[in-house]
Chains A and B, each alone.
Chain A
């Protein structure tokens, strides 16, 4: 599976990049699985995802819950609660 993972605002600052093209293993089926796998990738990933209550997710540009299935999603984004307007 190949997926583009995007980060915004302070999540991007903590991870250190805004975009990654990743190939997580088959066992990664939900957004939560992906987060668990991302946390193993580097200390900065682990730090960025240390408090999931402060992170929101969008799967293919639609807001979703952490238990959402990834299936054949092309783009998964992680960001803080939004503050526009």
Chain B
């Protein structure tokens, strides 16, 4: 399931829904990304994070990433929930779930989906800190993490 939405979501409630749908899976892994309250480069306090995305392509790209994960690991299910629009520090911004018979595949697929989402899904962050608003630069460390999945196995 892929969901891209403006409104907040409750990670606990989403976890229960995913577990209900996958009660026969031996291992379920999840990742929750939350809005940080400080800027990486300046250490300034962030008041608002605004996330722009590419409606249409975002859903397709997240679907392609989940399909790639399912082709690579024996998954029973994979889900991504991602917010866009304005968010406050501490808000859940993204949640990834994977379900498999065994934990190793669930863990690996969950990390793979996040690493690819960071470098492929068309979202752009803009942070407001004090009176300044600035677009967040992409990190080469994210590219490095994503490329691990193609360079070694």
Contacts and interface: CB of A to CB of B under 8 A. Distances in A.
B114 A63 contact: no
A82 B56 contact: no
A1 interface: no
Nearest to B143: A81
Given A77-B122, A81-B137, 7 more contacts: A9-B135, A80-B135, A83-B137, A84-B51, A84-B94, A84-B123, A84-B124
A84 B121 contact: yes
Q: Which of A63, A81, A84 has the most B CB atoms < 10 Å from its CB?
A: A84
Give me the 3 closest cross-chain CB pairs, A-B, nearest first: A84-B123, A81-B138, A9-B124
A85 B52 contact: no
Interface of A: 6, 8-10, 58, 61-63, 77, 79-85
Contacts of A77: 54, 57, 122
A61 B57 contact: yes
Contacts of B103: none
Interface string B48-63: 0001111011001100
B125 interface: yes
B136 A8 contact: no
B124 A85 contact: no
Interface in B27-70: 33, 51-54, 56-57, 60-61
Interface residues of B, number: 27
B135 A8 contact: no
A47 B137 CA distance: 18
Contacts of A84: 51, 53, 82, 94, 117-118, 121-125
B52 A9 contact: yes
A80 B124 contact: yes
Contacts of A58: 54, 57, 122
A79 B125 CA distance: 12
A9 B61 CA distance: 18
A61 B60 contact: yes
Contacts of B124: 8-9, 79-80, 82-84
B26 to A, nearest CB: 27
